[in-house]
Chain A
Amino acid sequence: MSQEVAHDDSHHNLMVKNKKLLMWLFLGSDCMFFGTLISTHLIYRKLYPEEFDPTLLFSLELTSFSTFILLMSSFLMALSVSAMHKGEIKSFRRNVIGVIFFGLIFLGCQVYEFAHFVHEGLTLSTGTFGSTFYLMTGTHGVHVAIGVFWLISMLFYSKGGNMEAHKNAVDVETAGLYWHFVDIVWIVIFTVVYLIEFIA
């Protein structure tokens, strides 16, 4: 194992782990992905303000709840990264289970929301609103699902004492960054897609 470290860290000019830098670059790039999606939605809202009235459909309570859930999952994620750095594998596992659990609740809410909306007649091909809304929130949902999947596999991997702070802290941290990013994207979506529709 020591040889892997030797390779991975042989001479990092900036002492930032490769994986971590990679993840941050990916997140920078992901800003453009979500930027495109969100701006497409906003543009069509601006062009056709009358096309669809989302306030009739959206439930702010539900969305606020899932926003809250996601924020708290982020908190737990921060704790588990911290735990990993301290080498407290047990605490790490506890927190990650929390994150996964919250992530699943969020996904559940989204599935419920989608099902409800479709039932109420908002489908992918309902004007531009349906298209942009579902693709945007759906892409976000897929990000959450991938995150959950990632954390679950990490949880399993950590079971047999496979994880060691000096070796795997960076892996956990990378997953954590990803998870937080998904959270901040939702912070933006919550405001510009949901909240501002409700301003009186």
Chain B
Amino acid sequence: MSYSQSNIDANHLKEENDRYYAFVNLALILAAVTGIELVLVYLPFPRTIIFTILISLSLFKFIGVVAWFMHLIYDKLILTMAFGTGMVIAFGTYTALLFLLGGDAVAPPEIPGR
């Protein structure tokens, strides 16, 4: 139906060729970021700073792959919603859980009783 052979040639070819460069660039950036991350952990900066940078970099890579390799920015909004809902629920729930299970609640090793 709407996906006839001629259609592909006309519209998609150009689109796909444009994307090609985006992909190559992204791949290069991803490789570079991974290298940076590797170096970063050994740098003598305060923990929190490195931690924050690492998380941001990983978020950046994450978004890069999702948006371009997985075509989310090119694709229908409904797909972003499907995935995003899962992401948000998972992230929210497990961040909350991480805070809920604090170390202070762990019983001291003395076996209860004796």
Contact = CB atoms under 8 A, between A and B. Distances in A.
Q: Is the interface of A mostly helix, strand, loop or mixed?
A: helix
A199 interface: yes
A137 B10 CA distance: 44
A43 B8 contact: no
A71 B38 CA distance: 15
Interface string A1-36: 000011001000011100011001101111110111
B47 A199 contact: yes
Interface residues of A, number: 61
A47 B103 contact: yes
Interface in B13-70: 13, 16, 19-20, 23-24, 26-27, 30-31, 34-35, 37-38, 40-44, 47, 50-51, 54-55, 57-58, 61-62, 65-66, 68-70
A78 B12 contact: no
Contacts of B54: 191, 195-196, 199
Contacts of B89: 31-32
Given A30-B86, A31-B87, A166-B3, A187 B61 contact: yes
Contacts of B3: 5, 9, 166
A98 interface: no
Given A35-B91, A47-B103, A86-B12, 13 more contacts: A21-B82, A28-B83, A31-B87, A32-B90, A35-B93, A39-B98, A46-B103, A82-B23, A187-B58, A190-B34, A191-B54, A191-B55, A196-B54
